[in-house]
């Protein structure tokens, strides 16, 4: 079939426009990966802050898990220190709970310390998994340790955040992960904090409890994370086991009694159920934390401990815990 020159030119112009449109769409589409921690969004255009020092910004950081949203509050005077704040087992896909369940942003707004709050990672323990979870249709493999210790610090270095001048603190699942990350990446983390963390996961019944908790929080299969209970990955990620690697690291370790406190005033049957559940979870965290304390004491490794007489496994108490840890964090990081 032959085309006249005007028609041929028109066809070529249409094809060029289609290719151009595809090129615009692909960077966004390439970031679409299902599951917690991966949301379709363009990566940040480049190493240029859109807000001044001390301001809040949301970045999209590339990773094999997809583009990971990271909420950031920049250091007030351009300092290079950073505090990573890790979420709990039910980490959401849209916001890190430290940003709305606590006043962390206000507490550190005037300090020379960047807050780094990754979004997503439900039931991940912020670790590198063996495979995608095969009980909930997960379409990619969690690689959170790699993300938090390689991809994210390298990305933030473009914005003046040092990859070797970081602190890390988390609650519950995030508390366990904070100590794990600090133990195996001492070149990155100078400080670690655990609030209601599970710090003795080799204790009788703990592996089964974690299995049930992860199934409840998103339907995740723990075997896809660390393999069966006899796999060495369980020991590798147990703070009680790797405790010797924490020597010389400033630490804040907190767990409350599990008894209802000032923030526990349920006004409904659902509220009462949640409070009872939070009581049990905190009592378990306390038992784990006390065992971990005894382990550190036996090794002659100091840490700062806080064991409130009342308090359940819930955000108001973790907000208080962060406030208690704040002076130690700022002293260690020289970031007042």
Q: Average pLDDT for residues 120-143, to the nearest whole number?
A: 98
Q: What would the pLDDT profile of 139-191 be if each residue is shown by its tens digit?
A: 999 999 999 999 999 999 999 999 999 999 999 999 999 999 999 999 999 99
Q: Average pLDDT for residues 237-256, to the nearest whole number?
A: 98
Which CATH number goes with the domain that contains 304?
3.40.50.1820
* Higher per-residue pLDDT: 121 or 34: 121
What integer best gives the mean pLDDT of the chain?
89
* Residues assigned a catalytic role: 172, 282, 313
CB contact set of 1 (below 8 Å; sequence gap of 6+) = none
Angle ∠(137,140,144) on CA atoms, nearest 5? 120
The verdict on residue 3 lying in a domain is: no
The verdict on residue 305 lying in a domain is: yes
The pLDDT assigned to 48 comes to: 78
Do the Cβ atoms of 217 and 89 come closer than 8 Å? Answer: yes
**Residue 45 to residue 47: CA distance in whole angstroms:** 7
Burial of 308 by CB count in 10 Å (0-12 exposed, 13-18 middle, 19+ buried)? middle
Residue 75 has pLDDT above 70, yes or no: yes
The verdict on residue 110 lying in a domain is: yes
The verdict on residue 14 lying in a domain is: no
pTM: 0.87
Residue 3 has pLDDT above 90, yes or no: no
The pLDDT assigned to 316 comes to: 98
Residue 20 has pLDDT above 70, yes or no: no
Residue numbers of the domain that contains 64: 31-333
**Residue 56 to residue 62: CA distance in whole angstroms:** 20
49: pLDDT confidence band, cut at 50, 70 and 90?
A: confident
**Residue 117 to residue 85: CA distance in whole angstroms:** 5
Give the chain's domain count: 1
192: pLDDT confidence band, cut at 50, 70 and 90?
A: very high
The verdict on residue 64 lying in a domain is: yes
Q: Average pLDDT for residues 214-221, to the nearest whole number?
A: 98
The verdict on residue 12 lying in a domain is: no
The verdict on residue 56 lying in a domain is: yes
* Higher per-residue pLDDT: 37 or 193: 193
The pLDDT assigned to 80 comes to: 98
Q: Average pLDDT for residues 209-234, to the nearest whole number?
A: 97
The verdict on residue 321 lying in a domain is: yes
């Amino acid at each position: 079939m032959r085309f006249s020159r005007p028609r041929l030119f028109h066809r070529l112009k249409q094809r060029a426009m289609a290719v151009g449109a595809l090129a615009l769409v692909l960077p966004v589409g390439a970031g679409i990966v299902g599951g917690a921690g991966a949301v379709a969004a363009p990566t940040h255009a480049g190493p240029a802050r859109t807000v001044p020092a001390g301001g809040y910004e949301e970045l999209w950081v590339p990773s094999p898990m997809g583009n990971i949203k990271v909420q950031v509050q920049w250091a007030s005077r351009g300092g290079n220190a950073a505090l990573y704040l890790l979420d709990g087992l039910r980490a959401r896909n849209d916001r890190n709970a430290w940003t709305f369940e606590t006043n962390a942003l206000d507490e550190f707004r005037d300090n020379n310390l960047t807050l780094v709050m990754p979004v997503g990672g439900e039931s991940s323990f912020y670790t590198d998994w063996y495979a995608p979870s095969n009980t909930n249709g997960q379409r990619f493999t969690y690689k959170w340790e790699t993300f938090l210790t390689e991809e994210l610090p390298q990305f933030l270095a473009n914005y003046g955040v040092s990859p070797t001048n970081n602190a890390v603190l988390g609650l519950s699942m995030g508390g366990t992960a904070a100590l794990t990350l600090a133990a195996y990446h001492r070149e990155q983390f100078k400080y670690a904090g655990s609030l209601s963390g599970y710090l003795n996961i080799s204790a009788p019944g703990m592996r089964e409890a974690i299995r049930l908790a992860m199934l409840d929080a998103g339907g995740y299969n723990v075997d896809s994370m660390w393999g069966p209970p006899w796999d060495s990955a369980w020991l590798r990620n147990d703070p009680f086991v790797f405790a010797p690697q924490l020597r010389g690291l400033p630490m804040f370790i907190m767990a409350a009694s599990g008894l209802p406190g000032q923030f526990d005033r349920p006004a409904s049957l659902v509220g009462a159920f949640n409070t009872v559940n939070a009581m049990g979870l905190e009592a378990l965290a306390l038992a784990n934390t006390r065992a971990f304390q005894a382990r550190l004491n036996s090794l002659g490794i100091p840490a700062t401990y806080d064991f409130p007489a009342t308090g359940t496994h819930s955000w108001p108490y973790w907000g208080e815990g962060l406030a208690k840890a704040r002076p130690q964090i700022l002293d260690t990081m020289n970031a007042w």
